[in-house]
Amino acid sequence: MQEDKSERRRDKRHPANVRTEILYNGRVYGGVIENLSASGAGIVTDQLEKEVDFVQYDTLELKFRSTAGEEFHIKCTIMWASYITPQNLRYRIGLELVGKHWDAISQFL
* pLDDT band at residue 4 using 50, 70 and 90 as cut-offs: very low
Comparing 102 with 91, the larger pLDDT belongs to 91
pLDDT value for 102: 65
The domain segmentation of the chain, as residue ranges, is 13-108
- If DSSP codes are grouped into helix, strand and coil, which group holds residue 94? strand
Fold designation for 13-108: Thrombin, subunit H (2.40.10)
How far, in Å, CA of 35 to CA of 58, rounded? 20
Highest mean pLDDT (candidates 6-10, 19-23, 87-91)? 19-23
Which pLDDT tens digit goes with each residue over 58-89?
A: 999 999 987 778 888 999 999 999 988 767 78
Side-chain-side CA neighbours of 96 within 13 Å: the count stands at 11
User: For a pLDDT cut of 90, what percent of the chain falls above it?
Assistant: 54
Give the predicted TM-score (pTM) of the model: 0.83
